Structure 1
Amino acid sequence: MSKPRLFLGIETAGTGTHPASWRRPDSGAEDLFTADYWITVVSQAEKLGFDAVFLPDSFGLQSGGAAVTRGRLDAVAIAARTAPLTRRIGLIPQVPVTHTEPFHVSKAVTALDFASLGRAGWEVTVSADPSQAKAFGRKASQSVESLWHEADEAVEVVTRLWDSWEDDAEIRDVPTGRFIDRDRLHYIDFVGDNFSVKGPSITPRSPQGQPIVTIRADDTESTDVAIRRADIIRITAADLPAAAQRRVALRTALAAAGRDPDAVRVLLDLPVHLADWAEEARSQVRQLDRWADLPAEHSLRHVGTVAALDELLAEISRSRVADGVVLRPLALRATLYALANRPTTTPTATTLRERLGLPRPTSRYATTGAVL
């Protein structure tokens, strides 16, 4: 298994992660709900050398009322729209599982992996807000423990469905008229507390075999699921030493769970705002905070120049603080513009797994499992 360079992702949350970012004249907020906005953002991220774009999503409106950006497009739909117009960047939409059937998640992310020729991922999220449960009207809101237990089962179902077609299940034998080899199509026969799924998937095994599973380790419950299920674990930290300690703790927990720590990538979330001069960047953030009346930020972030950001990324790589970084721009277009003249390299890896230095898994049913 190869050791990749520092993996660099970017989270494209609307006009930016700062709730007042839409008020900047360069925000592009007037185009936020158009395809052109997202095509431009993702294409620019690819040109800037980012390894992956993370696309947030939720079944609820953003909190904060009329003063903040409210409303969003479907993250999988955005990724699918941009897939054929990009060539290298990984596409990792959030897909909440609380009110979504895992069969649908499996099919949607597999289709994205086909559309992107092996660049798809899936960030697992849950829907904790009671208003989201009311929006669906199918079940009551759940505790955090219940939400993540359900998510744990959902990931198991999705990954089993991804494996239910072996790589060579499509034989397309014209003389015999056999399109598939039924011996290479498998029932998954999953029965849990939340789902009972026979399978198999209706979609063949995708280019990566299994698209990349991402989970943010925000609390004990999500961390436990991430240790069991994730290929990428996203973390936040107050400073670099705290991030390094978190990575060590996660790797220890992965080994204790019987997983290879080198087969999982720990990515550090880094809120950023960039300008030509550090004081200019700080002044712009103060203006954003005044618009939104936000409290002081206590997590690690970078507000300053591109050169200083590069120094910070080099330190993270050198010190093994994390396996990669996910930039979370406070103002998205401003950050993309500031990075426009930053030197970049074009990675040779074509799939997201290859960029992460992770092998393509074989189907768990290749030698065992009920066939059709």
Structure 2
Amino acid sequence: MSATRPLHLAAEIGGPPRYDANAHVALARLAERGALDFVTLNDSFARPGPDALAVLARVAPATSRIGLVPTVTTTHTEPFHVSSAVATLDWVSRGRAGWQADVSTTGAEARLFGRRAAAPAAELWQEAGEVADVGARLWDSWEDDAEIRDVATGRFVDRAKLHYVDFEGSHFSVRGPAIVPRPPQGRPVTVIDGTSGPAREPAARHADVVLVRATSPEQAQSLRDDLRRGAAAHGRDPDTLRVLVSLTVDLGDAETAPEPGLTSGPRLAGRGTYFRGGPVDLAELITRWHRGGAVDGFHLTPITPERDLERIVNGTVALLQHRSLFRSFHPGGTLREHLGLSRPASRFAAAAASGGKS
């Protein structure tokens, strides 16, 4: 169907909690050598360990091409701070930042903050969508040429090119403008796991990359088609949406055949469908699903990060590159360029140019 559509690959570099960033740096560099689009670092208020966004800010100067996508929980956190932190990651990585929006559903996590009780998933994902919306507006609130940096006159910024966002959500309001200049990518890449029903609408409306879990190419195709229809219904070009299938990967025994249907084996806290096999088996599955047009790519979570990511990069990815099915170098310097996504213009600058109001 669309064999010429580029294949996108990403990997999770989490695992057991670590308090030394060197392990994350090593894994990110390994993924970078394989020319993967981005790495993710999962996080939640329910697990111990350092903050994922802060860890990837440490990884940023130790890498040069790989995209960096931490999980950021939108529940119990301030949207203005989320926007500022993700914009900062984009600056320190020189345009390689994304963020994976997630929600906090449990009473135990709510009690950590003590500000409100746990809420239903539908309400939390509505709020997450609003956080993604206001984040994009805040990133746009500085026009690209707002900074003057004129030492002679002492003017740092052209205030006419800073804009209030005046956002009113169901749980919060934000006036703006941002305190961080517009990020290098304009808007860092937004990632949402759109498998569950409540997450589907904000994913279709706001995400650049949507992760889904599927046990067959037919199911993946159905999810992708549904998300593309949803994006179009919100006035988006569906071709700007990248849908990646999430797989938890166990490459511990290269001689073991993969489980039929990908449904056998542990589910690992619901994160990703389980695949067990060798690097060649995984390459064959990726090739078959992508060539059939079911997906834009895969997000792979190694069950044992140090072992399995090495086998993914030096085995699976190397084979895909040898077959000319996956690139051997990054096509640009930013995560948007890796994904084939254009840099969006500030909505406020566009409105001013057209004489309208955003």
Q: What TM-score, normalized by structure 1, do the two folds share?
A: 0.84
* Structure 2 unaligned spans of 5+: 260-264, 322-327
- 203-212 or 339-348, which deviates more: 339-348
Verify: 1:309 aligned to 2:309, yes or no: no
Structure 2 distance, partners of 1:271, 1:246, is 18
Verify: 1:40 aligned to 2:23, yes or no: no
Residue 310 (structure 1) shift: 1.3
Residue 76 (structure 1) shift: 0.2
Residue 4 (structure 1) shift: 5.8
Q: Look up the match of 2:338.
A: 355
Residue 340 (structure 1) shift: 5.2
The answer to whether the 8 Å contact 1:236/1:300 transfers is yes
Q: 2:115 aligns with which of 126, 138, 143?
A: 138
What does 1:163-174 correspond to in 2, within 5 Å? 163-174=140-151
Residue 300 (structure 1) shift: 4.8
Q: Look up the match of 2:295.
A: 322
Structure 2 distance, partners of 1:348, 1:100, is 35
Structure 2 distance, partners of 1:250, 1:339, is 28
The answer to whether the 8 Å contact 2:99/2:190 transfers is yes
Secondary structure of 1:270 counterpart: strand
Structure 2 distance, partners of 1:189, 1:93, is 27
Residue 245 (structure 1) shift: 1.6
Distance 1:53 1:192, change over 3 A: same
What does 1:168-207 correspond to in 2, within 5 Å? 168-207=145-184
Residue 131 (structure 1) shift: 0.4
Q: Look up the match of 2:325.
A: none
Distance 1:144 1:340, change over 3 A: closer
Distance 1:6 1:99, change over 3 A: same
What does 1:12-91 correspond to in 2, within 5 Å? 12-15=13-16, 32-61=18-47, 71-91=48-68
Q: 1:346 aligns with which of 329, 338, 341?
A: 329
Residue type of the alignment partner of 1:50: L
Structure 2 distance, partners of 1:112, 1:4, is 29
Residue 152 (structure 1) shift: 1.8
The answer to whether the 8 Å contact 1:275/1:306 transfers is no
Distance 1:353 1:155, change over 3 A: same
Verify: 1:129 aligned to 2:102, yes or no: no
Give CA deviations for 1:70-96 in whole Å, capped at 9, x if unaligned.
x22211011100000101110000100
Secondary structure of 1:279 counterpart: coil
Q: 2:250 aligns with which of 273, 280, 286?
A: 273
Distance 1:81 1:189, change over 3 A: same
Secondary structure of 1:302 counterpart: strand
The answer to whether the 8 Å contact 2:257/2:278 transfers is no
Residue 358 (structure 1) shift: 0.6
The answer to whether the 8 Å contact 2:331/2:337 transfers is no
Give CA deviations for 1:274-319 in whole Å, capped at 9, x if unaligned.
145332988xxxxx96xxxx79x9x854311111211111112211
Residue type of the alignment partner of 1:179: F
Structure 1 distance, partners of 2:151, 2:5, is 42
The answer to whether the 8 Å contact 1:153/1:194 transfers is no
Residue type of the alignment partner of 1:364: R
Verify: 1:252 aligned to 2:229, yes or no: yes
Residue 271 (structure 1) shift: 1.6
Residue type of the alignment partner of 2:88: A
Give CA deviations for 1:170-194 in whole Å, capped at 9, x if unaligned.
0222333321111111111112221
Residue 367 (structure 1) shift: 4.2
Q: Look up the match of 1:107.
A: 84
Structure 2 distance, partners of 1:166, 1:340, is 39
Residue 5 (structure 1) shift: 1.7
Structure 2 distance, partners of 1:154, 1:340, is 34
Structure 2 distance, partners of 1:131, 1:58, is 12
Structure 1 distance, partners of 2:174, 2:233, is 29
Q: What TM-score, normalized by structure 2, do the two folds share?
A: 0.87
Instruction: For CA contacts below 8 A with separation 6 or more, give which structure has more relative contact order.
Output: 1
Secondary structure of 1:215 counterpart: strand
Distance 1:47 1:210, change over 3 A: same
Verify: 1:116 aligned to 2:93, yes or no: yes
Give CA deviations for 1:78-124 in whole Å, capped at 9, x if unaligned.
11000001011100001001111011101110010001110000110
Secondary structure of 1:339 counterpart: helix
Residue type of the alignment partner of 2:177: P
Please give the root-mean-square deviation of Cα atoms over the aligned residues, in Å: 2.4
Secondary structure of 2:348 counterpart: coil
